[in-house]
Amino acid sequence: MLKKIAKILFVIGLGSATAVLIFDEVIVAINEIPSTADFQHPDNISLKLDSSSRMALKRSRNSVVRILSKTPTGAIASTTGTYIKAKGRHYIVTVMHGLLGPCEDTRIWTEDGGFTPCREIIIMNPIIDYAIIEIDELPLSEPIPIPRALPRGDEWLETIPNQAQLYYTGYPNSTGPLTFPGRIVGYADGDFIYMHSFAWGGASGSGVFALDGKLVGYLLAIDVGETIHGVDVLEDIVVVVPTFKIDWSLIL
């Protein structure tokens, strides 16, 4: 009888020890789950993508910024921009229509670095709708080198042909940063590009990158059409301005 009781206790002991080990393994597994910051890190890019796509995405995600501009009445506009570097100085290129106030009421925001003030608005071009803002260095972001990251004149046709794959990262509806793929589907008078992707208010100014990592454009707007029911937004047809429309001589 005593041997039988001892055997039962031994089995119970083994079961308890096994349960403790399994519980400990579950706790360890839970503790190993990546943090939100790990998921959001700019370099968290799918390894299943080819090397060209990964390079374009890395440049896009590491250079994106959000721009907040306050009007004299206190309203705040939110758009997206791209962090660039030229001749040792640091700038943001974005859309002009997102700058509703002066430089002193404009802030640059990044996921890791918080807010950075505007130092000077270098240019505001109302015709092509772009602006270049000088800022201090963003130590946790990676600037796009200008002009090295721009296609040369003889490269443009092969860089942005019809059906070329593109990527951009932005803050549509003040959400993000979110990264989207796109594909060129056509061209418009004035050298504008039509891209099949997604965009919404707040994504204007986002830098658009080709698979070779070149900065080929920035988001201007989404297309708007008319139906029998009235005006409608075509949020999957995005208008892109190629970067050869920008006067880079002001910073080079």
Q: What is the DSSP letter of 45?
A: -
Could you give the angle at the alpha carbon of 98 between the alpha carbons of 118 and 109, nearest 5°? 45
pTM: 0.84
Q: Mean pLDDT in runs of 10 for the chain (252 residues)?
A: 47 49 52 82 88 93 96 92 98 96 95 90 96 96 97 93 97 92 95 92 96 96 61 74 97 96
List 192's β-bridge partners, or say none: 188
Structural domains of the chain, with CATH:
64-144 (2.40.10.10), 150-245 (2.40.10.10)
- Please provide the distance, in angstroms rounded to a whole number, between the alpha carbons at the two ends of the chain: 94
Within 8 A by CB and 6+ apart from 59, the residues are 142, 144, 149, 209, 213, 215
H-helix or E-strand spanning residue 100: none
- How far apart are alpha carbons 186 and 162 in whole angstroms? 6
Q: What tens digit of pLDDT does each residue of 45-74 get?
A: 898 989 989 999 999 999 999 999 998 888
Strand, coil or helix: 236: strand
